[in-house]
Structure 1
Amino acid sequence: MSITPSKKPLVVTTGEPAGIGMDIVLQLAVQGKLQALEHPVIVLADETVLKQRAQAIYGEQIFEQYPNLWQRIDSEQDISEQLATHESDNAAPRFYMIDVPCAAQVTAGQLNVQNAQMVINQLKLAHQLAISGSAAAIVTGPLQKSVLIDAGITLADGSMFTGHTEFFMQQSGCDKVVMMLANAAMKVALVTTHLPLSQVAAAITTENLQKTIQILMADLKQKFGLSQPKVLVCGLNPHAGEDGHLGTEEIDIINPVLREFQQQGMDLSLAMPADTLFTPRHLQQCDAVLAMYHDQGLPVLKSHGFGDTVNLTLGLPYIRTSVDHGTALDLAGHPVKPEANQNGQVDDIKQVANSHSLWQALTMASDMANATVPDLR
């Protein structure tokens, strides 16, 4: 008879191998935080590179202090049974790894286009584990989009690779997902994601806005436990169009859609000027903000907690969270030394912030998998 683990695992992609993804996973493991999660953690990384990075950051003693730092899992075998077998051993760690090999040598801080496929292989494997029900959630580390684009990596539909959000959307067969970032100050969802500003207005269509609102309101209820979520909506134009004098998208598209959902009983504002909406008085009265484009909402949100912000993809058939920072190539592979010079101390602070961001993404994924409401406020 097969045995099953007490909890399905969280799958962590380490992303760009030359970046900080492996470093912050190692930091959480050394701090004992991965072991404290309610779910086992499976890390996707190149095993050889991960060990080299561990030695570079923590020295040879890490292998003595943590002899079972990474228990390997075979992705070709039943994940559930392997985890259950390890859980029956009290000495076994609560974090594991699946080896995803790089094609070329990895030097911390130096990008190599030859390793672009390894990054995509991580994402494909994470998707397979989540969509099959073998994993409770995906937590993604930072990748370098320019490397994937230079390598000719494309999305499932043949278009240019634009990010995790679009990748998982197409792999899952969804025609629409919603990117939302959340921290203690606010939750901000986006109607459009990684588009040049010149293309944003054309992408604000009735259908796109309707689908975005439907996904946002459904997941605020299902994944955040809000029975009647209240959402404030940004206009596209300055002053929300100033009655059509500064643009007509609010009159022609945005407000008609919002009125339609208001009539269905949803608690949504009409289009508001973004510079008015993002003030404490209004933010205290809502559960989330819907912004029309990337740089309308995210700079404000990140100014209220860059290291504490989690990226979520709403509308997927599984949970996906992510860190809110990049690959931090300048920090990758460097030991954290509190006694370093002034520049080094700044880097240490950045390293701690990046590690905390991953921790926030992991705990939120765990909370959602347990059907509990993340305590962000």
Structure 2
Amino acid sequence: MSALLTRPLALSQGDPAGIGPDIALTAWVNRRKTGLPPFLFIGDPNVLEARARVLNLEVVLREAAPSEACGIFAEALPVLPIAIGVDVEPGKPHVATAKATIGAIEKAVDLSLRGDTLAVVTNPIAKSVLYEAGFGFPGHTEFLADLAARATGKTVTPVMMLAGPKLRAIPVTIHIPLKDVPGALTAELLEETCRIAAHDLKVRFGITRPRLAVSGLNPHAGESGAMGREEVDIIEPAIQRLRAEGIDAIGPLPADTMFHDDARKRYDVAICMYHDQALIPAKALGFDDSVNVTLGLPFIRTSPDHGTAFGIAGKGIASDASLVAALKLAAELARTAGSAN
């Protein structure tokens, strides 16, 4: 796979006290075995050097520009340095690292928007650490959308999707309390989410006619209004309008029967009404090899589907499987999108 790419992927460091450095190093060490596409690590090389010593990994680091990364990836891990300025201890996050963590994301987005890198791949962040430093976004997804909007001058609606070998799932509402979901769920939001999903599945995933299965919000999809009106008043009319536009959407379907083996054969993506309704089945069916993909952006973005895992950082037991899957999927989406242009 790597031989087919002339530009690298941009990999942001994530929270340096978490497992981001661990899995980036391990992924590079195993690059030949996994057929890993070349990436440019954006972050502090001192953190990588220190973590490699802790993990007893032999890694050659080399400072590199994006144009140099593919050429040296086979022999050295290319790094675009962003200094943190403080010592980082595995498993002990500190607010002093937040500026560099945010800066790495911003740089990765900038490089990809300029075409210097093929896609953005983000290592996990600790939102509580960033909030302490004044970070004003619920998470990665919303921050990336803001960066894209500022760079392009256009409104950007980000759509979060968990993509695994057995299931693709999208939550319509994302990082909000469960009690706020009914108020946040609108026909306009559902329709826009489905339109973006259908577009990106076609353009970036190469699915000619994406099939969308839309869940209900309430148990048993509301039982025709007996257990809630959201299905009748919001979801059903939205699906009818989408179908009139030519989008292959069905529902609202009871969420408790959407995810078994036979049901999943009937659709390409599950559109769910809230965060856990989508992420619980997605992670249950593919925790180690599912990938977080943000649709609706003017660049490709993927990420591992796990968090910072501070408790195991620096212990040599963190799996790089989801990061490897995220890097491979980013390269695949870039290749598909490129061939469609």
Whether TM exceeds 0.5 here: the answer is: yes
Match of 1:330 among 311, 326, 336: 311
Distance 1:181 1:32 in 2: 24
Offset of residue 205 of structure 1? 1.1
Query: Would the aligned equivalents of 1:35 and 1:95 in 2 still touch at CA under 8 Å?
Result: no
Alignment partner, residue 73 of structure 1: 64
Match of 1:45 among 43, 46, 58: 43
Match of 1:368 among 296, 308, 333: 333
Match of 2:109 among 111, 127, 151: 127
The residue type paired with residue 128 of structure 1 is D
Distance 1:153 1:228 in 2: 39
Query: Would the aligned equivalents of 2:156 and 2:296 in 1 still touch at CA under 8 Å?
Result: no
Greater Cα shift, 358-367 or 266-275: 266-275
Distance 2:243 2:5 in 1: 42
Query: Would the aligned equivalents of 1:192 and 1:203 in 2 still touch at CA under 8 Å?
Result: yes
The residue type paired with residue 28 of structure 2 is A
Alignment partner, residue 184 of structure 2: 203
- 1:216 is the counterpart of 2:197: yes
| Alpha-carbon displacement from aligned partner over 1:221-275 (angstroms, at most 9, x marks no partner) | 1111111111111011111111112111111111101011112232111211101
| Alpha-carbon displacement from aligned partner over 1:118-170 (angstroms, at most 9, x marks no partner) | 1101111111111111110011111111111122222xxxxxx2111111111
Offset of residue 368 of structure 1? 1.0
The residue type paired with residue 44 of structure 1 is I
What RMSD over aligned residues (CA atoms) do the two structures have, in Å? 2.1
The residue type paired with residue 45 of structure 2 is E
Offset of residue 34 of structure 1? 9.0
Query: Would the aligned equivalents of 1:18 and 1:111 in 2 still touch at CA under 8 Å?
Result: yes
Match of 1:138 among 97, 120, 127: 120
Offset of residue 360 of structure 1? 0.3
Instruction: Go from structure 1 to structure 2 and tell me whether the alpha carbon gap of 1:223 and 1:34 turns closer, same or farther (over 3 Å shift).
Output: farther
Distance 2:220 2:74 in 1: 58
Distance 2:83 2:33 in 1: 23
Match of 1:167 among 119, 122, 143: 143
Query: Would the aligned equivalents of 1:190 and 1:294 in 2 still touch at CA under 8 Å?
Result: yes
Structure 2 length-normalised TM: 0.91
- 1:21 is the counterpart of 2:12: no
Q: Percent identity?
A: 38
Greater Cα shift, 93-102 or 266-275: 93-102
Distance 1:196 1:103 in 2: 36
Match of 1:153 among 135, 139, 142: 135
Alignment partner, residue 246 of structure 2: 265
Query: Would the aligned equivalents of 1:104 and 1:115 in 2 still touch at CA under 8 Å?
Result: yes
Alignment partner, residue 344 of structure 1: none
Query: Would the aligned equivalents of 1:215 and 1:315 in 2 still touch at CA under 8 Å?
Result: yes
- SS of 2:192's partner is helix
Alignment partner, residue 302 of structure 1: 283
Distance 2:85 2:308 in 1: 19
Offset of residue 325 of structure 1? 0.8
Distance 2:333 2:91 in 1: 33
| Alpha-carbon displacement from aligned partner over 1:13-35 (angstroms, at most 9, x marks no partner) | 12001010001111111223499
Match of 1:227 among 198, 205, 208: 208
Match of 2:52 among 51, 54, 60: 54
Instruction: Go from structure 1 to structure 2 and tell me whether the alpha carbon gap of 1:276 and 1:6 turns closer, same or farther (over 3 Å shift).
Output: closer
Query: Would the aligned equivalents of 2:222 and 2:229 in 1 still touch at CA under 8 Å?
Result: yes
Distance 1:6 1:30 in 2: 19
Q: Unaligned regions of 5+ residues in structure 2, if any?
A: 150-154
Figure out how many residues of one structure are paired with residues of the other and give that number: 330
- 1:356 is the counterpart of 2:321: yes
Offset of residue 94 of structure 1? 6.4
Distance 2:55 2:264 in 1: 41
- SS of 1:268's partner is strand
Query: Would the aligned equivalents of 2:61 and 2:76 in 1 still touch at CA under 8 Å?
Result: no
The residue type paired with residue 55 of structure 2 is I
Distance 1:34 1:299 in 2: 30
Offset of residue 92 of structure 1? 6.4
Instruction: Go from structure 1 to structure 2 and tell me whether the alpha carbon gap of 1:96 and 1:34 turns closer, same or farther (over 3 Å shift).
Output: farther
The residue type paired with residue 273 of structure 1 is P
The residue type paired with residue 241 of structure 2 is E
Alignment partner, residue 94 of structure 2: 112
Alignment partner, residue 282 of structure 1: 263
Distance 2:31 2:246 in 1: 46
Alignment partner, residue 297 of structure 2: 316
Q: Unaligned regions of 5+ residues in structure 1, if any?
A: 155-160, 337-347
Alignment partner, residue 341 of structure 1: none
- 1:248 is the counterpart of 2:229: yes
Q: Of the two, which has the highest radius of gyration?
A: 1
Offset of residue 93 of structure 1? 3.1
Query: Would the aligned equivalents of 1:28 and 1:34 in 2 still touch at CA under 8 Å?
Result: no
Offset of residue 370 of structure 1? 1.3
Greater Cα shift, 24-33 or 179-188: 24-33
